[in-house]
Amino acid sequence: MTDTLFDIKTLIESNKILRGKLKEAQRRIDELEGRITPVMKCNVISHDFTKKGFPKAK
């Protein structure tokens, strides 16, 4: 019984994840086809601040 319950919970969670991926894919298709304006995403650049000082600009 617990195996069946675990399987059902796993399927529900997988379904939620797949629905999210489907929505994202559909949004991307709409962007590419020009139905909606693209959302700009910015890339996050990580910096190592553990080193002493900062590089000097030339």
Domain assignment present for residue 19? The answer is yes
The Cβ of residue 27 has, within 10 Å, a number of other Cβ atoms equal to: 14
* pTM of this structure: 0.51
**Identity at 58, one-letter amino acid code:** K
Distance CA 55, CA 49 (A): 11
> For the chain, what percent of residues have pLDDT higher than 90?
34
**Domain span at 7:** 1-37
Count up the domains in the chain and report the number: 1
Domain assignment present for residue 14? The answer is yes
Write down the mean pLDDT value for the chain: 79
Give Cα 21 to chain centroid, integer Å: 9
Domain assignment present for residue 1? The answer is yes
Distance CA 53, CA 47 (A): 12
Q: Which residues contact 39 (CB under 8 A, 6 or more apart)?
A: 31
